[in-house]
Structure 1
Amino acid sequence: MENTTEDYSMLVLAAVTPDDYEGGSTTEDYDLDDSGSVCDMSIVRNFRKYYEPPLYWLIVILGSVGNILVIWIYTNLKNRLKTMTDVYLLNLAVADLLFLCTLPFWAADAISGWTFGWPLCKGVSAVYKINFFSSMLLLTCISVDRYIVIVQTTKAQNSKEQRLAYSKFICLIVWLLALMLSIPEILFANTKVLDSNTFCTMIYWNNENNRTKILVLALQISMGFCIPLLVMIYCYTNIIYTLLKARNFEKHKALRVILAVVGVFVLSQLPYNGMLAVKAAQAANTTITDCSQVQTFDIVLQIMQSLAYMHSCLNPFLYVFVGVRFRKDLKKLFQRHCLRCSGKSIKHGGPLRSSVMSDAESTVALSL
């Protein structure tokens, strides 16, 4: 994520690409040719200043409400973590919530630059990327678990307890892998002062021919989109095939849920990652040299980035609240909370239990 203020040129021989976070506007203006003509990026900076803050805050508010409700359900209902997907969904809500916590910093950065110091620049950048990758990897785990439960039903039922224990270990692996994938942010995120303004950006040292930058972009595209998408396509294709053969009155509802999950993932992530692929190609071999095209590319990249961020506030509704069981549990929690607030006694005392539904019932209908 990055920002800018005054004109600051960059030789096209080094490739017309800024040191930046995926989708942020540039911190530097571009030299377009050997004659030294400069492409003024002030239009991109002004666009980011007025576009990103309100949209990011909207994403933060909507996403926080949904993910906090998910965490509230899991932490207030006894025996709610009954399946592998339950464990993944709780971790997904935590990852999305922590990811959303970084957006206000980038909104502030878009308005007035980075005023939080270089340690927080590295810290926020790392937290942002850790939770981005963990969210994508957890979505992959959910797809695999649904595949096992629906396509390999017998195997899933026989190893239910064992799989539940494995899920916690898998989540630990996911978080550790996400931490490893965030190493570039830990190493290269830093503050840069341009004309009395400070910005948090990626500063690649020993970046001969932009190789480091290309590697970082390739890592994000592959681990943050390509691999999760391929796994989702394989798993959900087999799930759809299995459901079409099943005699279940709810299978059409399940198919609609699957199409919504895959459709939203593709529509939100594909345009953004496509732009990142173009950006990597630009870093490898300068392909965009026209000033208006450079400006348009940066603006479109910012729009695609914000569209991708919307996925973090849609996850609770796609993976959780679409399910009958979660809606019932949420209703129970609100009823109990309202009774406590009114001072009335709660009937049938004792810990509030989650709705009872088997793995097969819940996942065949995808009603988690």
Structure 2
Amino acid sequence: MAATTDEDYSDYEDLMCDRAPVRAFRRWCEPPLFWIITLVGGAGNLAVVWIYLNFRRRLKTMSDVYLLNLAIADLLFVVTLPLWAAEASHGWNFGLVLCKLNSALYKVNLFSSTLLLTCISADRYVVIVEATKAQNSRLERRRRSWLVCVGVWLLALLLATPELLFSTTVDVDSQPYCRMVFPAHLGNFTKVLLLSLQVSIGFLLPFIIMSFCYSVIVAKLLNTRSFQKHKAMRVILVVVVVFVLSQLPYNGVLVVQATQASTMSLKDCEQINCFDMVGQVLKSLAYMHACLNPFLYAFVGVRFRHDVLQLLHWRCWRCQTSSNKSPLSSTRVMSDSDTSQALSL
């Protein structure tokens, strides 16, 4: 991460290197990108939550449960970004308590979002590869999905505990910043451990599971005769490619950060500053996944596109007429069977 959450710079870097160019670059780079992610991601995920609460009324499938929780996680994640944008511009002026809470909330939703994407891929595997079994146990699977979501949130809370413990405000050039600062007796081991956990649970494990599930799904689709087969495979390809392109570069940065904390392999200040600037750009790229999730996972489905049109139609109707008859009352509610196997991905 950048200095906002989990970049606890080493003594060598703090004492021997001039970090002003990094802070200046961050002041120029992060605020506009974070605000774009906040506005676009906030609108998209709010639409998902609004549709579930107003049009769906109840969650019919496992994917519905995961998509709602994913939208909530992404929504809470983008809520933290304006404070980090403000810090990049003017330093952290929100106090110690909010520093800890915002850091923890940021990390909770970072982990929960990635883990929920993994759950969605596993659910798609069951629905398509084990279609008969999934159909016969739909009610049980939906109930189980709530337990899975509770487990995801609890695990994310556990993984965010270090943010509550070690996040604090520190003065850099007479300006406060919110950082992770570890006690001297813990050394860099804690930082290496936390970065390793973030890469392993936040990227590597989900990537392995998603790759397996979607590979088997593609193999299954190749053996089917459906005009929607190619569209389904394109959806899978886009989902995997977007996940890899957005997450792999930044997680590579985290691996280098862990190596640097352990071995201090980078000693040239210009290289260190350049690496941090690249990391800030790749971090913003990774955060854009919160904007893309609604379009990759929710709006791609027939039912959700139908509900989005309902939402727009309803808003237009509210603006144009005061008639007692709502257009929603005459619109057919789509069942799970209306969503094709391909587009329910």
Letter in 1 for 2:335: V
Matched, 1:238 2:231: no
Q: Deviation of residue 247 (structure 1)?
A: 1.0
Instruction: Map 1:203-214; keep pairs closer than 5 Å.
Output: 203-214=181-192
**Structure 2 partner of 1:30:** 13
Residue-by-residue CA offset, 1:280-306 (whole Å, 9 max, x unaligned): 011111111112211111011101100
% same residue: 53
**Structure 2 partner of 1:220:** 198
Q: Deviation of residue 60 (structure 1)?
A: 0.5
Q: Residues of 1 paired with 2:219 and 2:304: CA distance?
A: 26
If the length of structure 1 is used for normalisation, what is the TM-score?
Answer: 0.88
Letter in 2 for 1:307: L
Find 2:300's aligned residue among 322, 325, 333.
322
Q: Deviation of residue 211 (structure 1)?
A: 0.4
**Matched pairs, number:** 344
**Structure 2 contact 2–276 (Cα < 8 Å) conserved:** no
**Structure 2 contact 301–343 (Cα < 8 Å) conserved:** yes
**Structure 2 partner of 1:98:** 76
**Structure 1 partner of 2:277:** 299
SS of corresponding position for 1:364: coil
Q: Residues of 2 paired with 1:282 and 1:26: CA distance?
A: 10
**Structure 2 partner of 1:356:** 335
Letter in 2 for 1:218: S
Find 2:166's aligned residue among 174, 178, 188.
188
5+ long unaligned stretches in structure 2:
none
SS of corresponding position for 1:100: helix
Letter in 1 for 2:144: Y
Name which of structure 1's ranges 235-244 and 336-345 shifts more when overlaid on structure 2: 336-345
Q: Deviation of residue 169 (structure 1)?
A: 1.2
**Structure 1 partner of 2:343:** 366
**Structure 2 contact 60–336 (Cα < 8 Å) conserved:** no
Matched, 1:67 2:45: yes
Residue-by-residue CA offset, 1:211-235 (whole Å, 9 max, x unaligned): 0000010110011000100000010
Q: Deviation of residue 73 (structure 1)?
A: 0.7
Find 1:263's aligned residue among 241, 245, 248.
241
Q: Residues of 2 paired with 1:147 and 1:349: CA distance?
A: 33
Q: Residues of 2 paired with 1:126 and 1:349: CA distance?
A: 40
**Structure 2 partner of 1:15:** none
Q: Residues of 2 paired with 1:161 and 1:252: CA distance?
A: 30
Find 2:54's aligned residue among 76, 98, 107.
76
**Structure 2 partner of 1:144:** 122
**Structure 2 contact 76–105 (Cα < 8 Å) conserved:** yes
- CA distance 1:216–1:207, change in 2 (3 Å): farther
Q: Residues of 1 paired with 2:10 and 2:85: CA distance?
A: 15
**Structure 1 contact 250–365 (Cα < 8 Å) conserved:** yes
5+ long unaligned stretches in structure 1:
4-19
Q: Deviation of residue 29 (structure 1)?
A: 7.3
If the length of structure 2 is used for normalisation, what is the TM-score?
Answer: 0.94
Name which of structure 1's ranges 305-314 and 41-50 shifts more when overlaid on structure 2: 41-50
Matched, 1:344 2:323: yes
Q: Residues of 1 paired with 2:22 and 2:303: CA distance?
A: 46
Q: Deviation of residue 355 (structure 1)?
A: 1.8
**Structure 2 partner of 1:21:** 5
Residue-by-residue CA offset, 1:7-52 (whole Å, 9 max, x unaligned): xxxxxxxxxxxxx635x69698727xxxx8x322211111000110
Q: Residues of 2 paired with 1:291 and 1:73: CA distance?
A: 50
Matched, 1:170 2:148: yes
Letter in 1 for 2:5: Y
Q: Residues of 1 paired with 2:211 and 2:257: CA distance?
A: 26
Letter in 2 for 1:21: T
Letter in 2 for 1:366: L
- CA distance 1:307–1:78, change in 2 (3 Å): closer
Aligned-residue CA RMSD (Å): 2.1
Matched, 1:109 2:109: no
Letter in 1 for 2:189: R
- CA distance 1:209–1:333, change in 2 (3 Å): closer
Structure with greater helix share of residues = 2
- CA distance 1:262–1:286, change in 2 (3 Å): same
Q: Residues of 1 paired with 2:129 and 2:195: CA distance?
A: 35
Residue-by-residue CA offset, 1:37-74 (whole Å, 9 max, x unaligned): x3222111110001100110011111011101101110
Letter in 2 for 1:217: L
Q: Deviation of residue 353 (structure 1)?
A: 6.2
**Structure 2 partner of 1:159:** 137
**Structure 1 contact 74–81 (Cα < 8 Å) conserved:** yes
Name which of structure 1's ranges 202-211 and 295-304 shifts more when overlaid on structure 2: 202-211
Letter in 2 for 1:150: I
**Structure 1 contact 2–199 (Cα < 8 Å) conserved:** no
